[in-house]
Chain A
């Protein structure tokens, strides 16, 4: 039987749009689940995906992908490869699994919501494939670390992290709830697929895949490369959604959704990917600095997108975002390392003499702004005073991104006018923010965010008992065996040059 070419039947079979007569538009697409932003229903029917695929093609492709990546998993699982990996790299992949694996499952909810409440049949079709993609990503990124349990018990946090009150997990959960589990279909298409996936997961999944190959972690490289091939397809739901909004006079909506989620994504990725690339990846295997990756994979990508869609750069681009590339993740690294008992991986200080030279080369001025803190820390390590390298109180946490407030580092680096946090007194409660954009996001929609208690708010409200560091660690679900320790037993501290030599 002759087969028609796909182009001869694809449009007909995917376009299942019709005018409703038995129910109203609002009943079929409630605003909470699918905000049209005032664009009439039939205008959405022009939505056209740039990447077309049929179900049989999809299944054929996915089977091949799974066959390839599970084969690598099977072979590597019988080898000693994991044991031979650098301790810093192990920190990078354990941090990744805990922060990403369960959110992938959650992303399948987002895709399923678009699969039902997307405003065009073509979109719902594509989102159905996206639902299957994200289910696969959740499964594969919990299965691979499951295979590591006999070698690394902390791999359990791939499944556990998002079910705890660990502060980094709260930050991830707050972001992903805002971005997709508690978002409407139209906003999800722009914030999850267009803002987060086309930009930031490119960095995490392609940048980290490149580093993984350099390090020799074939399994992790194969895993995240395989995932990214799906992301590259379903991430394209954002572009036609923005196009419909722009063509119908709602570029303002698209702009605000992008501005909001670009900033939030940046902060979480600075925490996750920034530390991995500039401190945890072994020096000899770093292909680029985090800033160089950001410039190549994120900034160029978004600049092209803004131009192509007729959108503007976010208002904070020059004044806040670009300057943060030089200091923000360095401050987070210092904080994660100092508060290391509060994370599920073993952070590598990553500041040996050679690594400091590399940091100074990639980030001129690093020694003056951050090296001086590591001088004090290294000195305490060498003097046998480890208690001075461990926390006895908490950092303030941003009421938007839920990440510690490191404004003093930005002030020290010459990028902020004051070391103080950005405050907002709203309806009888004080909110503290790490940045002007985080405060701006809150002010755009206070009702969405004002009820949330950060981990510091919960501590002050008496929800953490006993109200001590030990009580907080238990509240975060961290047993003594799971609390982070320095990945290399402070080896870097014994190679660090004295401050005077660094300065000269």
Chain B
């Protein structure tokens, strides 16, 4: 378990965020941690579960930061599509 910085972009938001996740967090948790800083704050609440894209590929909800091969300060895009 170690803090892990990523660059988070929430669909519909206007800014790239520095978000601290944990390297053993599954993507379902990572998505919530990133979305927390934008949804209901600057982006209207959305239906459904947030998903994470990394380098153009959607990551499975149970993949962790480590198993997905995410590097520090990689860009993770969160969407609700």
Which single residue of chain A is at the shortest CB-CB distance from B9?
A: A419
Is A432 part of the contact surface with B, judged by Cβ < 8 Å? yes
A54 to chain B, nearest CB (A): 53
Q: Which of A338, A388, A393, A408 lies in contact with B19, CB distance below 8 A?
A: A393
Provide the residues of chain A in CB contact with B17, threshold 8 Å.
393-396
B15 touches A430 (CB 8 A): no
> A66–B26 Cα gap in the complex (Å)?
65
Not counting A338-B41, A394-B18, a sample of 15 additional A-B residue pairs whose C-beta atoms are within 8 angstroms of each other reads A373-B13, A373-B14, A373-B42, A375-B44, A380-B40, A388-B41, A389-B41, A395-B15, A396-B15, A396-B17, A396-B18, A408-B10, A408-B14, A420-B75, A423-B75
Given known pairs A408-B15, A421-B16, the reply for A430 and B72 (CB within 8 Å) is yes
Is A99 part of the contact surface with B, judged by Cβ < 8 Å? no
Size band of the A side of the interface? 35 or more
Considering the complex, which residues of chain B in the window 24-55 have a beta carbon less than 8 Å from any beta carbon of chain A? 36-37, 40-44
Given known pairs A338-B42, A372-B44, the reply for A406 and B75 (CB within 8 Å) is no
B75 touches A408 (CB 8 A): no
Mark B1-13 against chain A: 1 for CB-CB distance below 8 A, else 0: 0000101011111
Binding site for A on B (CB under 8 A): 5, 7, 9-20, 36-37, 40-44, 71-73, 75, 77
Which single residue of chain A is at the shortest CB-CB distance from B34?
A: A393
B41 touches A376 (CB 8 A): yes
Q: Which of B18, B42, B77 lies in contact with A393, CB distance below 8 A?
A: B18
Considering the complex, which residues of chain A in the window 345-403 have a beta carbon less than 8 Å from any beta carbon of chain B? 370, 372-373, 375-377, 380, 388-389, 391-396
> A392–B33 Cα gap in the complex (Å)?
11
> A459–B20 Cα gap in the complex (Å)?
12
Binding site for B on A (CB under 8 A): 331, 334-335, 338, 370, 372-373, 375-377, 380, 388-389, 391-396, 404-409, 412, 419-421, 423, 430, 432, 456, 459-460
Provide the residues of chain A in CB contact with B16, threshold 8 Å.
395-396, 404-408, 419-421, 432
Q: Which of A376, A412, A432, A459 lies in contact with B7, CB distance below 8 A?
A: A432
Provide the residues of chain A in CB contact with B71, threshold 8 Å.
430
Provide the residues of chain A in CB contact with B40, threshold 8 Å.
376, 380, 388
A335 touches B19 (CB 8 A): no
> A392–B34 Cα gap in the complex (Å)?
11
B42 to chain A, nearest CB (A): 4
Q: Which of B14, B18, B44 lies in contact with A409, CB distance below 8 A?
A: B14
> A409–B73 Cα gap in the complex (Å)?
20
A373 to chain B, nearest CB (A): 4
B49 to chain A, nearest CB (A): 20
Query: Would you mind naming 20 contact pairs between A and B with Cβ atoms under 8 Å apart?
Result: A334-B14, A373-B43, A376-B41, A376-B42, A377-B42, A389-B41, A391-B37, A394-B17, A395-B17, A396-B7, A396-B15, A405-B15, A405-B16, A408-B10, A408-B13, A419-B9, A420-B7, A421-B7, A430-B73, A456-B18
Which single residue of chain B is at the shortest CB-CB distance from A327?
A: B14
Provide the residues of chain B in CB contact with A459, threshold 8 Å.
18
User: Which of A372, A408, A423 has the most C-beta atoms of chain B within 10 angstroms of its own C-beta?
Assistant: A408
Provide the residues of chain B in CB contact with A393, threshold 8 Å.
17-20, 37
A243 to chain B, nearest CB (A): 42
A380 touches B41 (CB 8 A): yes
> A372–B73 Cα gap in the complex (Å)?
28
A402 to chain B, nearest CB (A): 14
Provide the residues of chain A in CB contact with B41, threshold 8 Å.
338, 376-377, 380, 388-389
B61 to chain A, nearest CB (A): 21
Provide the residues of chain A in CB contact with B44, threshold 8 Å.
372, 375-376
Given known pairs A389-B41, A421-B7, A460-B5, the reply for A409 and B15 (CB within 8 Å) is yes
B68 to chain A, nearest CB (A): 17
